[in-house]
Amino acid sequence: MDLRDLRPPRGWRAFSGELGIIVLGVFIALGADQAVRTFNQRSEMRELRAAVDKEIASGLAIYDARVAQQDCVEARLDELARWLQGWRDGKLQRLVGVISAPRSGPAGTSVWASRDPASMMAMPLDVKLAYASIYDEFANNEVQRLDERMTWLALAEFDGAESLDNASRMRLQGLITRARWRADNIISNASDVANIARDMGIESHQEDFFSAADLAPLCKPILPKL
């Protein structure tokens, strides 16, 4: 077959024009589809950011609730240190109240954990990194928080103690040191998270997680007045 016989009925020029129109239509369709996808991704990204910002704001409020107790935490640990020193010096005292413990709770992470990869792709890199830093701090703080709780539960074993032998004194000293160290880490973590969030325009969601009655025992002195 002679290839010269394979000519479009209306000629190559007309065929080229029709083919160009088809190709152009395909490109327009693909472009429109991509534009819709991009729009949807950006819309979903904005919704995700709003939800994550809200979750972080609630986490900051939980931090604030713990930080607000720090003066009472330090005062209680100072009392326990004086009580311990009294036993070492032979000045025996009985506690007149319960040791109690600081109240705390976990920062939520469910929104961040359930994020959609497509929405994340549309998010600016610096925003993704800032969010990741905050949630890394949340995870770190949860380790600190749980150990602080265990430390104070161990301190509560000294409630009503009538005597402290050498082993008990050594254990009490270790728990006081551990509680101070955990508290310092928690307060430092709270400051770091607040600074990152503030740079992103996220402020703490004001909420009272604990009532005055919940916090009162920790702030009430437990050493007898001299």
Kindly give, in sequence order, each residue whose CB lies less than 8 Å from that of residue 172, ignoring residues fewer than 6 positions away.
80, 84, 155, 158, 164
Provide the whole-model pTM: 0.79
Mean pLDDT of 145-157: 97
> Is pLDDT at 194 greater than 80 in this prediction?
yes
Mean pLDDT of 111-127: 86
Mean pLDDT of 142-158: 97
Task: Looking at mean pLDDT, say which of 19-33, 164-178, 211-225 comes out highest.
Answer: 164-178
Q: Rounded to an integer, what distance in angstroms lies between the CA atom of residue 112 and that of residue 119?
A: 12
pLDDT of residue 104: 92
> Is pLDDT at 77 greater than 80 in this prediction?
yes
pLDDT of residue 1: 46
14-21, long-range: CB within 8 Å, 24+ apart, which pairs?
none
Mean pLDDT of 35-51: 69
Give the dihedral of Cα atoms 166, 169, 170, 175; nearest 10 deg: 160
Q: Are 52 and 112 in contact (CB under 8 A)?
A: yes
pLDDT of residue 3: 45
Mean pLDDT of 115-127: 84
pLDDT of residue 28: 61
Task: Tell me, letter by letter, the H, E, C secondary structure of the chain.
Answer: CCHHHCCCCCCHHHHHHHHHHHHHHHHHHHHHHHHHHHHHHHHHHHHHHHHHHHHHHHHHHHHHHHHCCHHHHHHHHHHHHHHHHHHHCCCCCCCCCCCCCCCCCCCCCHHHHCCCHHHHHCCCHHHHHHHHHHHHHHHHHHHHHHHHHHHHHHHHHHCCCCCCCHHHHHHHHHHHHHHHHHHHHHHHHHHHHHHHHHHCCCCCCCCCCCCHHHHHHHHCCCCCCC
Q: 119 pLDDT band (50/70/90 cuts)?
A: confident
Q: In terms of residues, how long is the chain?
A: 226
> Is pLDDT at 199 greater than 60 in this prediction?
yes
Q: 210 pLDDT band (50/70/90 cuts)?
A: confident
pLDDT digits (tens, 9 = 90+) for 156-182: 999 988 889 999 999 999 999 999 999
pLDDT of residue 163: 85
Going by C-alpha positions, the residue among 153, 147, 183 that lies closest to residue 67 is: 183
Q: 129 pLDDT band (50/70/90 cuts)?
A: very high
Q: Where are the domains of the chain?
A: 9-219
pLDDT digits (tens, 9 = 90+) for 55-66: 999 999 999 999
Residue with tokens 């103690």: 161
Higher pLDDT, 212 or 14: 212
